C-alpha cells in the first residue's frame, strides 16, 4: 500500500468519522439545519476545487460540462434528501444503517439499467441487508397508540421516504460516474469540482430556510469547554469542522476511487460506517436494542458477503496451502 492510499484510508476513517460526529452535534442543536449544512459543504468544496483544479476557470474541463448535468442532479438530490431526513424523526444510527443498504440499491439498478446478472450469494446478501434494515426500522418507533403519536409515525415515514430517495439517487450516481469514467477516463478532482459547483444554483430554492438557519445559529449561546479558558461559540466550531471534514472525506474517497478496486473501497467504507455507528450509540446515547444489533449485524455481514470479502479471504488462504502441498 503506497503512501497516497494510506493517507486516503486514514482520511476516510478520521475525516468521515468526525464529519458524522460533528453533524450529529449540529442536528441536535437544530434538526432543520440540513439545507444550511449541505449548501456550506458544497460551496466550500466548489470554491476550493475551482481555484486549485480549474485555476479560476482558466483551465477548461476534460469532460464536457453537459456530461455533468445529470450527475449534478443526482448528487444534489442524494445529499439534500439525506440531510433533510433529520427533520422527520430519523436518528443518526438509523440513517447510517439505512445508507449501508446502498449495495441493495446498486444491485437493483444494475439489473434494471445495466441488465446485469448476479450470483446466488449476491441475492442472499441483499436479502440479509433488506431484512436487517427492516428490523431496525420497524423497531425504531413503537406503534402509535394515541392521536398525537400518529403525527410522529407520519413524520417517520416521510423521513424514510427521503432516505429511500437518497439511497437510489446515490446508487444511480455511481452508475453515471462509472459511465463517465469509461467514456472520458479518470478525472476525480475535476468531477468533484464541477458536480459541487454546478449544484450551487439549486440552493436558491432553499434560500429562505438557509437564512432562517443562519439566524438560529447566530442566536447560539457561548459555551464553556474544559480545554479553553473562555466561553466559545461551540456550535459554530462544530459547523466549521463539519464543512472541513466533509471536504477531507470527499477528497479521500475520490482518491481511493482512482487507486483501489470497488471491492476494497466498499470494505473500507463499511468499516467506517460501523465505527461511526458505535460512536453515535455510545457517545450520544441513541437508543439501540438487542434487535437493532441483530439488524445491524445482518446489514454489515450482508455488505461484506456482497463484496465477496469472505470468499476472497478463503481463496487467499488456500493458495499458500496448495503451494505447500506441491512442495
Set of cell numbers at residue 106: 446498486
Given this model, what pLDDT does residue 147 score?
A: 39
Q: Residue 108: name the closest of 93, 132, 126 by CA.
A: 126
Angle, CA 129 vertex, CA 127 and CA 134 arms, to 5°: 95
| pLDDT of res. 251 | 86
Q: What is the mean pLDDT of each run of 10 residues along the chain (327 residues)?
A: 84 90 90 91 94 93 90 89 81 74 78 83 82 70 45 80 90 83 85 92 92 93 78 91 94 79 68 75 72 81 74 65 57
Measure the CA–CA gap between 207 and 73, rounded to whole angstroms: 18
Per the structure block, which three cell numbers stand in for 147?
Answer: 392521536
Which pTM value belongs to this model?
Answer: 0.76
Q: How far apart are CA 286 and CA 77, in angstroms?
A: 27
Write down the pLDDT at residue 212.
95
**Contact indicator for 34, 87 with CB cutoff of 8 Å:** yes
Q: What pLDDT was estimated at residue 148?
A: 44
For 124-154, the DSSP string reads HHHHHHHHHHHHHHHTTSPPP-SHHHHHHHH
Instruction: Find how far residue 194's CA is from the centre of its chain.
Output: 19
Amino acid at each position: 500500500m503506497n503512501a497516497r492510499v494510506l493517507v486516503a484510508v486514514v482520511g476516510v476513517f478520521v475525516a468521515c468519522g468526525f464529519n458524522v460526529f460533528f453533524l450529529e452535534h449540529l442536528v441536535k442543536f437544530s434538526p432543520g439545519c440540513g439545507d444550511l449544512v449541505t449548501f456550506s459543504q458544497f460551496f466550500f468544496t466548489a470554491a476550493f476545487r475551482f481555484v486549485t483544479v480549474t485555476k479560476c476557470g482558466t483551465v477548461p474541463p476534460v469532460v464536457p460540462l453537459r456530461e455533468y448535468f445529470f450527475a449534478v442532479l443526482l448528487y444534489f438530490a442524494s445529499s439534500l434528501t439525506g440531510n433533510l431526513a433529520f427533520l422527520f424523526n430519523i436518528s443518526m444510527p438509523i440513517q447510517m444503517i439505512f445508507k449501508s443498504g446502498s449495495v441493495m440499491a446498486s444491485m437493483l439498478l444494475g439489473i434494471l439499467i445495466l441488465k446485469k446478472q448476479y450470483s446466488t450469494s449476491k441475492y442472499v446478501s441483499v436479502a440479509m441487508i433488506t431484512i436487517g434494515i427492516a428490523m431496525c426500522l420497524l423497531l425504531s418507533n413503537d406503534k402509535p397508540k394515541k392521536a398525537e403519536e400518529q403525527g410522529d409515525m407520519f413524520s417517520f415515514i416521510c423521513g424514510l421516504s427521503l432516505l429511500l430517495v437518497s439511497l437510489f439517487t446515490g446508487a444511480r450516481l455511481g452508475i453515471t460516474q462509472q459511465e463517465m469514467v469509461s467514456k472520458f477516463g479518470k478525472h476525480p478532482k475535476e468531477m468533484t469540482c464541477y458536480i459541487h459547483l454546478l449544484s450551487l444554483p439549486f440552493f436558491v430554492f432553499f434560500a429562505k430556510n438557509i437564512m432562517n438557519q443562519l439566524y438560529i445559529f447566530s442566536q447560539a449561546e457561548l459555551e464553556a469547554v474544559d480545554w479553553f479558558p473562555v466561553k466559545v461559540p461551540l456550535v459554530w466550531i462544530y459547523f466549521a469542522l463539519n464543512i472541513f471534514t466533509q471536504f477531507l472525506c470527499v477528497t479521500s474517497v475520490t482518491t481511493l476511487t482512482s487507486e483501489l478496486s470497488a471491492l476494497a473501497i466498499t470494505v473500507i467504507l463499511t468499516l467506517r460506517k460501523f465505527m461511526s455507528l458505535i460512536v453515535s450509540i455510545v457517545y450520544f446515547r441513541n437508543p439501540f436494542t438487542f434487535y437493532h444489533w441483530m439488524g445491524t449485524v445482518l446489514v454489515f455481514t450482508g455488505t461484506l458477503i456482497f463484496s465477496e470479502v469472505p470468499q476472497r479471504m478463503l481463496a487467499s488462504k488456500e493458495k499458500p496451502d496448495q503451494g505447500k502441498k506441491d512442495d
